[in-house]
Chains A and B, each alone.
Chain A
């Protein structure tokens, strides 16, 4: 247990030390690259902004992610159970996913002008539902026929087969995709916050750092984003342990 916490913490410290060393050794001024030792000053100066805006970023990301889960699972179910729907929807999905979301951001910002929260949640959702839909559909469509037969031969309905077998069996793939989706949702939220001028969230704080040439602030925002990303990621890991812990093989 101690090892589990100590290893990642030491890894983070080594990383920060290396960063500090790199800046020091190259003699970079902080408008090229701020060093970790510049960051505490930025945090103490703007701590209330970090709290308020960090919260704004967090709740919009989580909301976008939740919608992505509902929609992604629904889409994955449709594609997992119907070959026709799979053939019909895959090219559309892949095409949609191939569009860089940075190009969609200004479009959405214009389409729903002024609806900042809505826009941000929308982008977070759009960028993160794809891996969820694909993993659920693959999980369902690759269910071995014997699993189905075991229940079907007893006269079970499709719904029963889904709840008793297909859904739980897909959970490990689902959580794998959710880990990817969590970080994607953060990227989506921040894209919107940076591009759309509404002054909310960590993205806006980053933007104001840029405008005021406050380089340590910009780096501090990046680190705060990374921190939030890590926190959400481990929330997903904890949920995975609870709901799909059975899929983890004992080590050794």
Chain B
């Protein structure tokens, strides 16, 4: 395995609330190799989103270290792209202008024309050709999320952070977008971190699934996903997928404290 591009070591973090500190992360270790795609699953409210904010440099952990490409993360950096459950497109801009937004902020080698060509290319990849000049309000939820993925990738980030980006979509749209993610991954050399609560999504998209324990979260279990050949939805209905899903489900139950097993605290 190549050197880790994202390395999270022994991270602890607590939020200060009116009723005292609320620990959310307690001894979290996650490492993602360059070009890898890691999914993070865990019970709700266990600090998954905090993890994305740490990697993005939007906040600093109380303890422990976050490393990105050999340097310690202390503030936001332009080599990260983010997409959330809410596509947060700017309603007053066209889809194309929305996708181009990061290029207005990060220093880029792309000329204006090249940037636009790249945006159009990405939009075509996700099936939004012909919608470049539409406003976000004219698009469906799934289409908006696709545009948001293009925006996350336009500046060629090293790391793509996805925080439950498909959570609000219906099942069929979600499966569409999973396949689009694979198409994007084939063309764009990013390293991915996906926060999700959908176990099928985690094994379909990622090559490693990290299960977090309940709050305060630590790394409870790591599953390597080994499908043979290019993935398609059919893989989710094979015995090996069923076995992986079963393992993950069991781990989630432990994390939720429903099953007394393993080394659950």
A171 vs B92: C-alpha distance when bound (angstroms): 10
What 1/0 mask marks residues of chain B from 112 to 141 whose CB sits below 8 Å from any chain A CB?
000000000000000000000001011000
Q: Given the complex, which residues of B lie within 8 Å of A152, measured CB to CB?
A: 58, 76
Stretch at the interface among B10-18, B81-89, B220-228: B81-89
Stretch at the interface among B23-31, B33-41, B99-107, B190-198: B99-107
- Contact residue among B78, B91, B135 (Cβ-Cβ distance under 8 Å from A154): B78
Interface size bucket, A side?
20 to 34
Q: Given the complex, which residues of A lie within 8 Å of B9, measured CB to CB?
A: none
Q: Does A230 contact B (CB under 8 A)?
A: no
Stretch at the interface among A92-100, A132-140, A160-168, A195-203: A160-168
Q: Given the complex, which residues of A lie within 8 Å of B106, measured CB to CB?
A: 154-155
Q: Given the complex, which residues of A lie within 8 Å of B259, measured CB to CB?
A: none
A229 vs B96: C-alpha distance when bound (angstroms): 40
Q: Does A144 contact B (CB under 8 A)?
A: yes
Q: Given the complex, which residues of A lie within 8 Å of B88, measured CB to CB?
A: 144, 146-147, 150
Whether A249 contacts B137 by the Cβ 8 Å rule is yes
A164 vs B102: C-alpha distance when bound (angstroms): 11
Q: Does B57 contact A (CB under 8 A)?
A: yes
Q: Does B53 contact A (CB under 8 A)?
A: yes
Q: Given the complex, which residues of B lie within 8 Å of A156, measured CB to CB?
A: 105
A83 vs B151: C-alpha distance when bound (angstroms): 31
A110 vs B255: C-alpha distance when bound (angstroms): 73
A147 vs B90: C-alpha distance when bound (angstroms): 9
Whether A154 contacts B53 by the Cβ 8 Å rule is no
- Contact residue among A144, A147, A155, A168 (Cβ-Cβ distance under 8 Å from B92): A168
Whether B102 contacts A246 by the Cβ 8 Å rule is no
A159 to chain B, nearest CB (A): 12
Among B92, B135, B161, the one with the most A-chain Cβ atoms within 10 Å of its Cβ is B92
Whether B91 contacts A155 by the Cβ 8 Å rule is no
Q: Does B56 contact A (CB under 8 A)?
A: yes
B86 to chain A, nearest CB (A): 5
Instruction: Please judge, given known A-B contacts A147-B88, A168-B90, whether A155 and B75 are in contact too, CB under 8 Å.
Output: yes
Residue of chain A at shortest CB distance from B104: A164
Whether A247 contacts B58 by the Cβ 8 Å rule is no
Whether A146 contacts B84 by the Cβ 8 Å rule is yes
Q: Does A151 contact B (CB under 8 A)?
A: yes
Q: Given the complex, which residues of B lie within 8 Å of A249, measured CB to CB?
A: 137
Whether B105 contacts A154 by the Cβ 8 Å rule is yes
Prevailing SS type, chain A contact patch: helix
A165 vs B56: C-alpha distance when bound (angstroms): 19
A40 to chain B, nearest CB (A): 46
Whether B86 contacts A155 by the Cβ 8 Å rule is no
A171 vs B91: C-alpha distance when bound (angstroms): 12
Whether A246 contacts B77 by the Cβ 8 Å rule is no
Q: Does A153 contact B (CB under 8 A)?
A: yes
Whether A153 contacts B92 by the Cβ 8 Å rule is no
Whether B105 contacts A155 by the Cβ 8 Å rule is yes
Q: Given the complex, which residues of B lie within 8 Å of A149, measured CB to CB?
A: 53, 56, 58, 82, 84
A149 vs B53: C-alpha distance when bound (angstroms): 9
Q: Given the complex, which residues of B lie within 8 Å of A244, measured CB to CB?
A: 92
B59 to chain A, nearest CB (A): 10
State which residues 148-202 of B face A: CB under 8 Å.
Answer: 151, 155, 161
Q: Given the complex, which residues of A lie within 8 Å of B58, measured CB to CB?
A: 149, 152-153
Q: Given the complex, which residues of A lie within 8 Å of B155, measured CB to CB?
A: 154
Question: What are 13 inter-chain pairs, A to B, with CB distance below 8 A?
Answer: A146-B86, A149-B82, A149-B84, A150-B82, A150-B151, A151-B105, A153-B56, A153-B161, A155-B76, A160-B105, A169-B90, A169-B92, A246-B91
Interface residues of A (CB under 8 A from B): 144, 146-147, 149-156, 160, 164-165, 168-169, 171, 244, 246-247, 249-250
Given contacts A149-B58, A169-B90, 17 further A-B contacts (CB under 8 A): A146-B88, A149-B53, A149-B84, A150-B84, A150-B151, A153-B80, A154-B105, A154-B155, A155-B78, A155-B106, A164-B101, A164-B104, A165-B90, A169-B92, A244-B92, A246-B91, A246-B92
5 closest A-B pairs by CB? A246-B92, A153-B56, A146-B88, A154-B105, A155-B76
